[in-house]
Structure 1
């Protein structure tokens, strides 16, 4: 298949495959070194992060040289097409270096309106969450994994007191942001922590109802936005606005649960 006939979705799968191949030789291997990208806090990066992003960039240079690339490890490369591939080679590097299978590869294809295609890929469990919207209302929304291929669909929970909520860090954000999150957490049935992008995949798969985060970058959320929206969910910032540039983000299974949680998060915007 030539670059001219390779669809965007097929290319996204090639990117995810290449990232898997680059990453897996390092997972749970003794001697893996993690450097911190910041001095004030531990923000790890490994050779696996860089190898995976480079492998994806090489494929994009070959097949979509006109498109832009925005990756966590190597920054932003402008294109001429008005489209951009947004890459997080390992979302959850802390989980990766700890040996837990809750990290993932995030891939998005975006235009000026945000992501139109996204993948959340977990190489160790071999689960790939896929979401894409095409012309005329067509869409792809599926999970490909060890149990086969199933359609993604978010839950129909409508009351906060029945909801399952996730965030990555218990100490989410600033004190004001933490207070707003804790107000929602006090209302839901169950609150859990620490899954990074895997929680967003679980939301798309109908396992949980809410993910609330603060301090995200664009590459942390663009792939999951496409996956969750294709599955029927809602992703915005804490003001109900587009979230594809990151920041404070709420992902919800449906408009009702989104509205209920968003009203409580509004206290952080006061």
Structure 2
């Protein structure tokens, strides 16, 4: 599993570095870029996107796919923001008419502009598209790019789970640290002051509700939000966690995409 995750991380990073290099090549000319995501992931989506763009009158374009997030990146050299927005509207309409359950989510911006085309910003745009709950086309702004993704402490006694979560969350721009038990986690929270603690309830040493209570009693400037990621499915345990101030509760096995969305909501 760790080897597979590492390979996916390298492939994903290459996509955004390639995009960044391509955008530098177009400078100082304007270049529109849009990210497109469909939760249904219809098999013909990428092919249909290419067909629609190919039939645009004299449109220059390039399509790349991030296999990890299933997000399409579409470069539109020479287009202003208004022109790129118009193409996004046409693309969205034709996908809705010709691809069953497409329900596309689109985020776009133009370079050069208010945002620098770094790999981190481009990944942030892709994640914003994937996590969007609105069908409206979203214009990515300087203010969004300036947002800090935040610090997350991962607490789990399973090394494989810790590694997977660290790789996935780092790809989304979060700073991460990991702890294998409750005692070391409490020490890290005091020293590092994370914004969010993503924790299993079944831990060595202190665990469960006493661990949650200890987090909230630590002498830190800002008590971190808490998301429980656990194998415990007992309704009473879930209810008690929320009563003790837990922000969200996710059971294992879990959907990585759903967990991404839950964590994203905690920061917004």
TM-score (norm 2): 0.25
Structure with a larger share of its residues in strand? 1
Q: Name whichever structure is richer in helix by fraction.
A: 2
Greater CA radius of gyration, 1 or 2?
Answer: 2
